[in-house]
Structure 1
């Protein structure tokens, strides 16, 4: 009988890249199990547990067979006409194919004939022997290592001094245990055993001799001083951070990427409390937080108001009885970093933002789009026009001033050292220069939203500058043909587009997209590529994605998109109106009728105007529809004009009966040209009235 036991595979290596460790651990376990399943050694029910620490990748797979079960196979050989001569004897082609699959002419009488497409084909049926775990795991290991998401491999020499291999880091040990038995496999010049290494300084035993696959995590933790599971280590780190912060009445800064990176740097976390001199708190907290996180991997501590304190947490990889030297060392290390930040801040404030503007003319923005100074001028012109639309001359003037100063902090020492602080430092320096708070906010916010879920600019001035900045970027790069394609979007234009859409919709801005695209391209020289149509289509595609992501039905989004609202801020209200309309019993019949009307009008040889002559109505049904339209259309139009899109659509419900009667009793394409034109005009009026809020034909059941 086949033997089912749990499997443990570990690759012991030199320190792995911390930012990649989590993905490497998950990929190693997933790919290993995937290959084992494909070979019949593990089933869908087999549980996979990944392990990843700074010096190891490992996987535990439950219910793994010692040998895969035999399986029936059917090998297609070739068409009967090719494989057998007229007298039924095998052709040379068939004999050659049989030899290739390990058979000979003796199997010919037993070959199965089966219809394959239009012709009969020959199939060799038999039983394939199940693979052994040793052979299957060998293949699975090779497959798993080949599939690891390693951006860059390194080549290193093996112990024999002659041969070399490629891997993310040099590997020094391999464990493969099926239950308590070693599986004889090898990879990267290493033969599998049952020994692994623990913590460099705190292991109770070295090496750690594993009893079996199921004791791996416990033995490493108890004897090796290592928490091998990434998730377990992450949880322990978070627990200690929160506990240490709570003792001080503070909270650690929330940063999942930093948590993951530190989890990948330590084998067993030990959180310690440190502090720095309070005078450094005079520096903007964003600078201090960034230097502590980015350079030192520390966790700054915030008070209840979210303000930075002079205390921070460090994560040590050792647990000395007296931690004072570790704490003192970290406090000494952070001091020069904070001093640098203070020096940059003090130096930068010796010059005003306005005095730096001329320097932007010496900074190249893009070879085809000129200098940063020219870019600022374009953004300034666009921002002034948007500001005028948002709040008149006062906002236009503020937007123009903020746009002119928004990029000046790129020439400061602080932003030179920490590019992530661009905009933020501009806001601080603007306040130091005595500028209005609205201007400072606008400078700080003009990059927003910088990522999905980021906050939007806080005031109209900031919205004007942020919109202008994104529009200038989009128009500039589309004009020179730098358009995103596939996965390639080097200038993050999709992110810029999404930010633009979010501001228009979530801030309910009274701006028309066509006008925004027009003024953006108008800010460039006449020789610049005029790609308004391409940019508008790109933005529309991003809008569809944004609305779908917000949970709106595809059908509803298509209906509203097709109506082409000039102001994208209307989309949420229009979509809500469509949802309410769909709940009416009249919605489906009216949507179907609208689709029919659209098709009739499309087939007309001449463009049909929404005009009718009452004297030409012959059938009672067409007169009834005209009367109903005369009663309903003004109510619907009035609600539409007032922004009551739900009311506008629901007023149309009264048209169901006359519309149904019209199509039952009236021949639209009458032989009399005047009658035909009049009836088409009536349908055009109906079509116009029905499609103000959304193209209702998109709601028709297909």
Structure 2
């Protein structure tokens, strides 16, 4: 059956730029998947998505005009229900056949499958393949319901639609055109009150032809660019912007555009034919912290600031325009006039904020509610200050500096700059602290107490910053979790998962010798006794261990390896990865599988035995050579295993266990653990209990058993 490429385009008013890429990919995938499912396109058909501010489109290669017919087997009912004792059709079977367009004459042709009571009647037929018109209509209808639309818009159909008047339709933006071409032929489908044709619109201002009449599906991208002045492909347009940004930066010399994928995607969603221009602002604004200037240019104006090789902001920036005037000076001048008041506002906020110290703002945190069940930001600051000092002492760092940083950490929330740009909290605290004459370690810790802010973000750079960051995150975790606001599904409004991962990363990647459960208990103790449940520290520890599993999976450890370590509910997070490295090394030993299986067997025996003897095994009570040999081998091995674990030699400890493999195997081959004589049985259980504890010093190796 011959095939041709298919193009579908929906022409709309300007789409939300931040959602455009996702919308374009989802539209293309939904159309293609539906056509493939209906047999109109091959499973490996090439799918090309297109998305610009005013269109969503897709090209699917090798689409058939009609799908091939498919054999269909309908299971009707059990034989004893469909046929009576004489083999005649029952009313139930006749009714089922009628629903399929058949009658009693078809009964002899029904197929029997199965035996006995499980024997059933089947009707085999051939389903005619869907036509492209039917299949594409279905694909379009399905695709519009599956689009990840941020917010649906209701609007009335206009006079050029099939159903003019006050009929209301819902879509992300009003739709004004529909194109569906199979090769060069129009596919007569309709959606949102529009019937498909071959005409679409190009660039709002610069199209050479309006409307653009598409010749065929394969000419879409070229015609849109040449006649419509539109780069229809999101990825091609994005790549063109990147190229122009670097070319413009090279013209300026010694600078590069700030790297920001989210901004790049958003700008790609704002323009159909990008044109990068160079603007500049007065050098007097460079006295404002560059984070403020960069943020206002990116967030408010969608500009790309330029940084020199040292990362210092230049007073020039790049504009991604949607038009190509012969003389761009008016566009550049307009953008420079627009950005100046923004930068002036930032300079004003900065100058005003510095008139009051951070320390003078702290008492006013008492007027800011942190949570109605947890008190004010001032009460929270007081808790975090005490905890930061305790953590610093455990790290042999200056408790005084850590407490000072924690005391001032939230004061910048009351500044005008952070009020305008909440993203700058912590960053402005750094600048204002330095202006106030605070120690540099304190100022850095004020900024870094928010770190890491997201996955892969930097960690606090010293123990003062780490103490402040841990204290802040632990207070949030214990407090919010303790009042019952536990994350569920995708909902985590207080970012508890993020805070948990931040604590785990600081402890693990900075190698801090701190006990997590102890830290959680210290945090709980700083809240009023009646405010939180006594079990909250243990509950949060369990919650964090679940986050730890995900963190370790991302680092490449296998599920059984993670389970072997995390199932022991570790509290020293800095030792988790070294233990996992040891487990990985242990798994490579030829004795590993047998020892893991033996350990699992030990745990099952001890679990079934119920209450275990309190003391250790005694050699005098042993009667079998195999148990004596195991006892002696354990006693010989135990000191080196315990010493290795205490000194962090986890690999050496696990490797040493290979030395008892023979004794363990012999013991299970020759010794009956659950002997009838109670004293003998208890002594053997005590031996297994000691063996299990020795084997699981580093990790629960029974989790490695298949």
**TM class by shorter-chain length?**
over 0.9
For each residue in 1:552-580, what CA deviation from the matched residue of structure 2 results, as whole angstroms up to 9, or x when unmatched? 11111111223343311001111111122
Are 2:199 and 1:195 equivalent residues in the alignment? yes
Q: Tell me how far apart the structure 1 counterparts of residues 503 and 101 of structure 2 sit (CA, whole Å).
A: 65
Q: What displacement does 1:258 show?
A: 0.3
From the superposition, tell whether residues 118 and 384 of structure 1 become closer, same or farther in structure 2 (CA, over 3 Å). farther
Q: 2:381 touches 2:407 (CA, 8 Å); kept in 1?
A: yes
Q: CA RMSD in A?
A: 1.6
The correspondence for 1:644, drawn from 632, 636, 649, is 649
For each residue in 1:639-698, what CA deviation from the matched residue of structure 2 results, as whole angstroms up to 9, or x when unmatched? 222111112222222212222233333333334333333333222222222211111222
Are 2:630 and 1:625 equivalent residues in the alignment? yes
Q: 2:612 touches 2:685 (CA, 8 Å); kept in 1?
A: no
Secondary structure of the residue aligned to 1:339 is helix
From the superposition, tell whether residues 147 and 562 of structure 1 become closer, same or farther in structure 2 (CA, over 3 Å). closer
Secondary structure of the residue aligned to 1:103 is coil
1:537-616 → structure 2 map (5 Å cutoff): 537-609=542-614, 611-616=616-621
Q: Tell me how far apart the structure 1 counterparts of residues 217 and 116 of structure 2 sit (CA, whole Å).
A: 49
Are 2:452 and 1:449 equivalent residues in the alignment? yes
Q: Tell me how far apart the structure 2 counterparts of residues 155 and 612 of structure 1 sit (CA, whole Å).
A: 78
Are 2:528 and 1:529 equivalent residues in the alignment? no
* Unmatched 5+ stretches in structure 1: none
Q: 1:610 touches 1:684 (CA, 8 Å); kept in 2?
A: no
1:299-318 → structure 2 map (5 Å cutoff): 299-318=304-323
Q: 2:78 touches 2:117 (CA, 8 Å); kept in 1?
A: no
1:200-349 → structure 2 map (5 Å cutoff): 200-247=204-251, 248-349=253-354
Q: Tell me how far apart the structure 2 counterparts of residues 647 and 68 of structure 1 sit (CA, whole Å).
A: 64
**Corresponding residue for 1:46?**
45
**Corresponding residue for 2:694?**
689
Q: 1:617 touches 1:623 (CA, 8 Å); kept in 2?
A: yes
Secondary structure of the residue aligned to 2:396 is helix
1:371-410 → structure 2 map (5 Å cutoff): 371-391=376-396, 395-410=398-413
Q: What displacement does 1:189 show?
A: 1.1
Q: 2:231 touches 2:237 (CA, 8 Å); kept in 1?
A: yes
Are 2:497 and 1:494 equivalent residues in the alignment? yes
Secondary structure of the residue aligned to 2:395 is helix
Secondary structure of the residue aligned to 1:497 is helix
Q: 2:657 touches 2:695 (CA, 8 Å); kept in 1?
A: yes
TM normalised by structure 2 equals 0.96
Q: What displacement does 1:117 show?
A: 9.6
* Unmatched 5+ stretches in structure 2: none
Secondary structure of the residue aligned to 1:131 is coil
Are 2:7 and 1:16 equivalent residues in the alignment? no
1:125-136 → structure 2 map (5 Å cutoff): 125-136=124-135
From the superposition, tell whether residues 674 and 82 of structure 1 become closer, same or farther in structure 2 (CA, over 3 Å). closer
Q: 1:431 touches 1:440 (CA, 8 Å); kept in 2?
A: yes
Are 2:454 and 1:423 equivalent residues in the alignment? no
Secondary structure of the residue aligned to 2:114 is strand
Q: 2:202 touches 2:229 (CA, 8 Å); kept in 1?
A: yes
Q: Tell me how far apart the structure 2 counterparts of residues 210 and 592 of structure 1 sit (CA, whole Å).
A: 68
**Corresponding residue for 2:149?**
150
Q: Tell me how far apart the structure 2 counterparts of residues 419 and 116 of structure 1 sit (CA, whole Å).
A: 71
Q: Tell me how far apart the structure 1 counterparts of residues 140 and 347 of structure 2 sit (CA, whole Å).
A: 52
From the superposition, tell whether residues 586 and 175 of structure 1 become closer, same or farther in structure 2 (CA, over 3 Å). same
Q: Tell me how far apart the structure 2 counterparts of residues 638 and 185 of structure 1 sit (CA, whole Å).
A: 77
For each residue in 1:213-261, what CA deviation from the matched residue of structure 2 results, as whole angstroms up to 9, or x when unmatched? 0000000100110000001101101111111112222111010000000
Q: Tell me how far apart the structure 1 counterparts of residues 552 and 474 of structure 2 sit (CA, whole Å).
A: 20
**Corresponding residue for 2:181?**
177
TM normalised by structure 1 equals 0.97
Q: Tell me how far apart the structure 1 counterparts of residues 593 and 415 of structure 2 sit (CA, whole Å).
A: 62
Secondary structure of the residue aligned to 1:608 is coil
From the superposition, tell whether residues 676 and 124 of structure 1 become closer, same or farther in structure 2 (CA, over 3 Å). closer
Q: Tell me how far apart the structure 2 counterparts of residues 655 and 105 of structure 1 sit (CA, whole Å).
A: 76
Q: 1:29 touches 1:49 (CA, 8 Å); kept in 2?
A: yes
**Corresponding residue for 1:25?**
24
**Corresponding residue for 2:55?**
56
Moved more, 153-162 or 169-178: 153-162
**Corresponding residue for 1:139?**
138
Secondary structure of the residue aligned to 2:279 is strand
From the superposition, tell whether residues 63 and 624 of structure 1 become closer, same or farther in structure 2 (CA, over 3 Å). same
